[in-house]
Amino acid sequence: MTLLDPTGAVPLYHQLKELLKEEILSGRLRPHEKLPSERELLETYGVSRATVRQAIAELASEGLVVSRQGKGSFVAPPKLEQGLSRFYSFTENMRRLGRTPRSQVLKLVKVPASARVATQLRLAPETPVLSLTRLRLADEEPVMLETSFLPADLFPEMLTDDHAHVPLYTLMAEKYGIRPVKARESFEPVLLRDHQAKILQAKPGSPALLVERVAFAANGRCVEFCTSIVRGDKCRFSVELPEE
């Protein structure tokens, strides 16, 4: 057993968190396995209850553990990973990971493009666009809140299309003959606002990622501007860098 150093510069809660984190990342504590109880950690490491709780809270904020009322803390399942080396679809990626994707349509309206949306889509301000907001779920767990803005002239029947069951890019390609072939994305760390946290079933102020995407068709036309709020405790993105 590795002991904590009460005389060191590193706070005890951080030392305990790192020990438990190593147990999780090494696989010695497996997904869905229960962590030692609060009392067991107190007795094993000779720390206070406050130290144990802060260590567990830190692990939870990193998405490594989940706490269940009256049952204790458990190792969280692996984060959903999305590679960035090629064009991707949420639905296809979830299926590839063995998860069951679902999209819940929260709002679909035709609106005049705001100045920012118009700029991103390379349209004149006030040009009609479709605004589609969806909650993305994996195995019925909310992981992403996504709003897509689409040029209304390209998708005249989009307001009545089945967005709950047919992926957006599938509709674009199969019904409208428009296939996004490349995209430009940006990533920015943010904290969940109250209304976002409520929809995503997370705590307000939890870490998240703001992902913005502009997608282009083969002719260079901008066909989508999408903003997504992604739960930081459930998802991560990765990229493989080629050798120079």
Prediction pTM value: 0.72
Q: Are 83 and 97 in contact (CB under 8 A)?
A: no
pLDDT given at position 165: 85
Q: Which CATH class is domain 80-238?
A: alpha beta
Burial class (CB in 10 A: 0-12, 13-18, 19+), 17: buried
pLDDT given at position 176: 95
Domain spans in the chain, listed from the N-terminal domain onward:
12-75, 80-238
> Which residue, 195, 185, 184, 190, is CA-closest to 231?
190
What tokens does 126 get?
């006030």
Mean pLDDT of the chain: 87
What is the full DSSP assignment across 129-185?
EEEEEEEEEETTEEEEEEEEEEETTT-TTGGGS-TTTS-HHHHHHHHH-----EEEE
Answer whether CATH 1.10.10.10 is correct for domain 12-75.
Answer: yes
The stretches in the chain having pLDDT less than 50 are: none
pLDDT given at position 77: 76
